[in-house]
Amino acid sequence: MPAKVKLHDTTLRDGMQGEGVSFSLKDKLAIAEKLDELGIHYIEGGWPGSNPKDIDFFKEVGKISLKQAKIVAFGSTRRADKVAGNDPNLRTMLNAETPTVAIFGKSWTLHVKKVLKTTLSKNLKMIEDSVSFMKSKGKEVIYDAEHFFDGYKDEPEYALKTLQAAEKAGADWIVLCDTNGGVMPYEIGDISRKVKKAIRTPLGIHTHNDSGMAVANSIMAVKAGFTQVQGTLNGYGERCGNADLCLVIPNLKLKLGIDCISDEQLRSLKEVSRYVNELANIIPDDRQPFVGDSAFAHKGGMHVDAVRKTSLSFEHIKPELVGNRQRVLVSELSGKGNVLSKASQFGLTLSKDSPETKEIVKTIKDLEHRGYQFEAAEGSFELLMKKSLGRYKKLFDLEGFRVSVEKREDNRLISEATIKVKVKGVREHTAAEGDGPVNALDNALRKALEKFYPALADMYLSDFKVRILDPKAGTAAQTRVLIESRDHEDTWRTVGVSENIIEACWEALVDSIEYKLLKDKK
């Protein structure tokens, strides 16, 4: 196994092939800086020959001073009917003025014949010429062997010949790609070991996640001696995405003991992951290994108990190493232990046998019995604790509201809310329309509160979920509403329960607003 591995990020190129992923030029520059801070060695910025917008990126990124990352321009080998010096694609790559270029070529005879529609020997010449040309211009050259593993499984000799063509031309790196993401880890291990014996050039791995194997396959190749891993932040990429560097990096450092980024940089991993999700406007995956919000969340009472005895018992690494944290979920199985560990997380001191602790445990049990569920509503839970401890005072008094939805004969639909509240001794009576009753109520409530609490303009409702509890109870069925809210830096969730969906929404909305104001005070 190698002692060091270089990381090659392609979020800005391959990542942008992902459905729903798009970055502005400004976003791309901000991400490049973040990647540099994280300690990434190569940042693939785009494909100038295929996407004219990428040309601007290379122009602008040159003006930023990066600590150690090298910017890479990406493109294909020369066209079959061009000489390298006159190939428009290679020319555009040169114009990007990067120290390093990544050139991809074909390893799979199927692609050479059916997609490129050229001969096997011409393809070898295209690879050799393109790499030679870039070397003659003083570039560091990464040669990406597209579909290498599929090609090797089909015709191993030809696939190896394509690598030898790149090696002969002086490529600095040869990167084997599982472009379709369909190869199994034992195959990657096996083929990588064979290639390692045949090729002296430093080797890299580039995988896709179509079989759920992208990270495992990267690790198998490193185990075979490969010293470059390509991937994207949060695994963005076409179809099921690329190898997620947020998983590759901690696995390399913490599991394989390989040097790639510093311990301090590793501690910023969760924050970087979150930052890029925010720029991409993508909802974070709570279950994402290492950096997801649930990655170290314990629910079962037995596990919680064991984790308190020794965290190693149900945690494969210390969450702080990647900037994450342990969370104990409050669920029906919860007892005093969970409440205590939550309290300390919120910065509250509670002793095990104090009357407050007993009171809070009792309140939670009562609420859970009535259908509240706090594991997905930590915002409400934190408020509840602070209220029980007298650490929170009411923001306003509700005197009444009315919400109506009317469908008229012309098929028009009108949703309206009126609200009467008292804030800091002043009575506000306002009305607002909305896209639906909840939106109308939210609008009316903010309209009443915003002049007293202007920070509310920064938050918005990002999701809500509704569930009928115990539907067999018929008319007495309770409705549970979970609301997710966001501002520019956080996400929080609150809960409301009532027989009436509007009242349940109201409760969760009020908690959400109270949580926001409480949070801002900290």
Interface with a second copy in residues 143-182 (CB under 8 A) = 179-182
| Cβ-based neighbours of 147, under 8 Å, separated by 6 or more | 106, 107, 108, 110, 111, 177, 179, 180
What string of DSSP letters covers 142-193? Answer: EEEEETHHHHHHH-HHHHHHHHHHHHHTT-SEEEEEETTS---HHHHHHHHH
Distance from C-alpha of 233 to C-alpha of 15, rounded to nearest angstrom: 8
Of 390 and 474, nearer to a second copy (C-beta) is 474
Q: Which stretch binds a second copy (CB under 8 A): 32-40, 55-63, 64-72, 281-289?
A: 281-289
Q: How many residues make contact with a second copy (CB under 8 A)?
A: 119
Burial class for 426, CB neighbours closer than 10 Å (0-12, 13-18, 19+) = exposed
Residue of the chain from 407, 424, 488, 522 that contacts a second copy (CB under 8 A): 407
From 175, 73, 81, 177, select the one nearest 125 (Cα to Cα). 81
Residue of the chain from 64, 83, 198, 405 that contacts a second copy (CB under 8 A): 405
Under the binding rule (CB under 8 A), the answer on residue 205 touching a second copy is: no
The tokens for 92 are 């555009």
Is the Cβ–Cβ distance between 494 and 512 less than 8 Å?
Answer: yes
Entry field: residues in the chain = 522
Q: Which stretch binds a second copy (CB under 8 A): 185-193, 197-205, 348-356, 511-519?
A: 185-193
Under the binding rule (CB under 8 A), the answer on residue 60 touching a second copy is: no
The tokens for 460 are 């918005």
The two beta strands, 100-106 and 327-328, are: unpaired
Of 42 and 374, nearer to a second copy (C-beta) is 374
Distance from C-alpha of 261 to C-alpha of 6, rounded to nearest angstrom: 9
Mark out the alpha helices in 310-436 (DSSP H runs): 336-345, 355-369, 378-388
Applying the rule CB under 8 A, the residues between 112 and 141 that interact with a second copy are 114-115
Under the binding rule (CB under 8 A), the answer on residue 79 touching a second copy is: no
Residue 443 has a CB neighbour count (10 Å cut-off) of 20
Q: Taking the C-alpha atoms of 301, 303, 304 and 310 in order, what is their torsion angle to the nearest 10 degrees? A: 150
Q: Which stretch binds a second copy (CB under 8 A): 133-141, 167-175, 424-432, 500-508?
A: 500-508
Q: Which stretch binds a second copy (CB under 8 A): 80-88, 155-163, 260-268, 288-296?
A: 288-296
Residue 203 one-letter amino acid: L
Residue of the chain from 60, 430, 437, 491 that contacts a second copy (CB under 8 A): 437
Residue of the chain from 301, 318, 348, 455 that contacts a second copy (CB under 8 A): 301
Least distance CB 198 / a second copy (angstroms): 21
Contact letters for a second copy, residues 360-389 (x by CB under 8 A): -------------x-xx-------------
Of 81 and 406, nearer to a second copy (C-beta) is 406
Under the binding rule (CB under 8 A), the answer on residue 259 touching a second copy is: no
Q: Which stretch binds a second copy (CB under 8 A): 125-133, 197-205, 267-275, 302-310?
A: 302-310
Q: Which stretch binds a second copy (CB under 8 A): 62-70, 94-102, 257-265, 476-484?
A: 476-484
Of 203 and 350, nearer to a second copy (C-beta) is 203
